[in-house]
């Protein structure tokens, strides 16, 4: 008899991964689908990083790595935080994990007790609320709509904090909306947090390098909250290394120690070869970042331009990451023959089946009017995808 734990029974599968798999399956069956679902750079990992991995194999980096990461990698991360974020950490405040997803899971498991509340601004990345559930915390979802560019206001934060609040999840640049919190906006949130010294901040900065409007600002730069902020980052997005699975945190020492203890019982150190590659990514030539950013910006502008010409699509101009996040509720209630579109899921399935483009329904990110489109694919694919989107939507009346 199947009898999964209660923890698993209430867990939703990752919609981003599900849509990606569905699209890959269709492609494997010979169907020409343009995949705009998963969020990962379409570029190959830079050559210098690949060379470092090959060298590590030849030099027999094949033994267990230290649980929190090789000293050389933690040193490279300390230097990266100093150089790019003006943040001061010591190496023992850094923990390297199997992707930023794993880093966030470690942090939640390390600080959340059953019943503790975690404030999760919506739209959110799919895995936050599910990981909070795994940690037996309680999600307090705070809705940020299109009118505030999908960012929460200080007042909303203030209203959401209770005596049970343990942490706030922040994601800037945001997946799925692509929005950035400006320094002023973060300062205003910090003003609220100053009044609540027991609230921790988990700041997911994995899209730091994909920022079209200026330099990245981390909430950890505010001295008032530095001691209770965990900065989550990794090499997946900035260095086109999603499959290598290297994420990391900079954290208060006791949280870093707790994550390391947990990781020592769950997964051990991240893959040795990938860690050696990550050292080169952080210390080596950084030109890949600017090159990819330029390509992403060009693609974003193209997609926004095409979408602005399609009836009923409401879209913000995302300043970062590689997603556009249109409100497509105009199409709800419309029909293609007898088939009625009632939700973002129906719309995404329609776009996949009739339009041959894979996207992710906003319902997976907490905003049921939206659809997430990842433009991390070739210019050629984007032309095809936008033609198909336009055509498919014309079919809904």
Contact positions toward ligand PMP, by CB under 6 A? 39, 99-101, 125, 171, 175, 204, 206, 234, 236, 242, 247
- Residue 97 makes CB contacts below 8 A (sequence gap 6+) with 103, 106, 246, 247, 248, 249, 259, 263, 267, 270
- Residue with smaller CB distance to ligand PMP, 175 or 316: 175
Alpha-carbon distance 377 to 387, whole Å?
15
- Cβ pair 97, 103 in contact under 8 A: yes
- Select from ligand PMP, ligand GLU, none the partner in contact with residue 112, using the beta carbon and a kind-dependent cut-off of 5 to 8 Å: none
- Residue with smaller CB distance to ligand GLU, 11 or 72: 11
β-bridge pairing 371-374 and 323-324: antiparallel
Using CB under 6 A, list all residues that contact ligand GLU: 14, 16-17, 38-40, 101, 126-127, 175
- Select from ligand GLU, ligand PMP, none the partner in contact with residue 247, using the beta carbon and a kind-dependent cut-off of 5 to 8 Å: ligand PMP
- Select from ligand GLU, ligand PMP, none the partner in contact with residue 171, using the beta carbon and a kind-dependent cut-off of 5 to 8 Å: ligand PMP
Cβ 22 to ligand GLU shortest distance, Å: 13
- Residue with smaller CB distance to ligand PMP, 242 or 260: 242
Angle among Cα 45, 382, 367 to the nearest 5 degrees reads: 90
Backbone phi and psi for residue 339, each to the nearest 5 degrees, phi listed first: -85, 115
**Residue with nearest beta carbon to ligand GLU:** 39
- Residue with smaller CB distance to ligand GLU, 34 or 38: 38
Alpha-carbon distance 95 to 275, whole Å?
12
DSSP structure class, residue 38: S
- Select from ligand PMP, ligand GLU, none the partner in contact with residue 371, using the beta carbon and a kind-dependent cut-off of 5 to 8 Å: none
- Select from ligand PMP, ligand GLU, none the partner in contact with residue 234, using the beta carbon and a kind-dependent cut-off of 5 to 8 Å: ligand PMP
Cis peptide before 176 (omega within 30 of 0): yes
- Residue 99 makes CB contacts below 8 A (sequence gap 6+) with 234, 236, 245, 246, 247
Cβ 37 to ligand GLU shortest distance, Å: 7
Cβ 119 to ligand GLU shortest distance, Å: 20
- Residue with smaller CB distance to ligand GLU, 23 or 110: 23
CB atoms within 10 A of CB 76: 23
- Select from ligand PMP, ligand GLU, none the partner in contact with residue 361, using the beta carbon and a kind-dependent cut-off of 5 to 8 Å: none
- Select from ligand GLU, ligand PMP, none the partner in contact with residue 38, using the beta carbon and a kind-dependent cut-off of 5 to 8 Å: ligand GLU
Backbone phi and psi for residue 71, each to the nearest 5 degrees, phi listed first: -55, -40
- Residue with smaller CB distance to ligand PMP, 202 or 341: 202
């Amino acid at each position: 008899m199947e009898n999964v734990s209660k923890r698993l029974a209430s867990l939703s599968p990752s919609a981003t991964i599900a849509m990606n798999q569905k699209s890959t399956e269709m492609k494997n069956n010979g169907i020409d689908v343009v995949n705009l679902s998963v969020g990962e750079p379409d570029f190959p990992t830079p050559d210098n990083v690949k060379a470092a991995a090959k060298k590590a194999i030849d030099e027999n980096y094949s033994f267990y790595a230290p649980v929190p990461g090789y000293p050389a990698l933690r040193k490279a991360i300390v230097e990266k935080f100093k150089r790019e974020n003006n943040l001061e950490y010591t190496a023992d405040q850094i923990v390297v994990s199997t992707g930023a997803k794993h880093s966030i899971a470690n942090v939640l498991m390390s600080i959340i007790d059953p019943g503790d509340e975690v404030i999760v601004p919506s739209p959110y990345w799919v895995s936050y609320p599910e990981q909070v559930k795994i940690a037996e915390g309680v999600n307090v979802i705070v809705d940020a709509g299109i009118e505030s560019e999908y960012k929460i206001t200080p007042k909303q934060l203030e209203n959401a904090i209770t005596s049970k609040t343990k942490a706030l999840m922040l994601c800037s640049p945001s997946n799925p909306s692509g929005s950035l919190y400006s320094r002023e906006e973060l300062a205003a949130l910090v003003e609220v947090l100053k009044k609540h010294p027991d609230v921790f901040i988990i700041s997911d900065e994995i899209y730091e390098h994909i920022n079209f409007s200026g330099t990245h600002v981390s909430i950890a730069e505010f001295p008032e909250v530095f001691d209770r902020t965990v900065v989550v980052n990794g090499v997946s997005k900035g260095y086109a290394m999603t499959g290598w699975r290297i994420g990391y945190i900079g954290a208060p020492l006791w949280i870093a120690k707790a994550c390391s203890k947990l990781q020592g019982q769950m997964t051990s150190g991240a893959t040795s070869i990938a860690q050696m590659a990550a050292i080169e990514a952080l210390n080596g030539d950084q030109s890949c970042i600017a090159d990819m950013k330029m390509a992403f910006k060009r693609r974003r502008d193209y997609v926004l331009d095409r979408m602005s010409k399609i009836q009923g699509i409401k879209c913000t101009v995302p300043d970062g990451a590689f997603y556009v996040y249109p409100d497509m509720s105009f199409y709800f209630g419309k029909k293609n023959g007898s088939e009625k579109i009632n939700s973002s899921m129906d719309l995404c399935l329609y776009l996949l089946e009739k339009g041959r483009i894979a996207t992710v329904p906003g319902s997976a990110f907490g905003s049921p009017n939206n659809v997430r489109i990842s433009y991390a694919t070739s210019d050629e694919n984007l032309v095809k995808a936008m033609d198909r989107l336009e055509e498919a939507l014309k079919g809904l009346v």
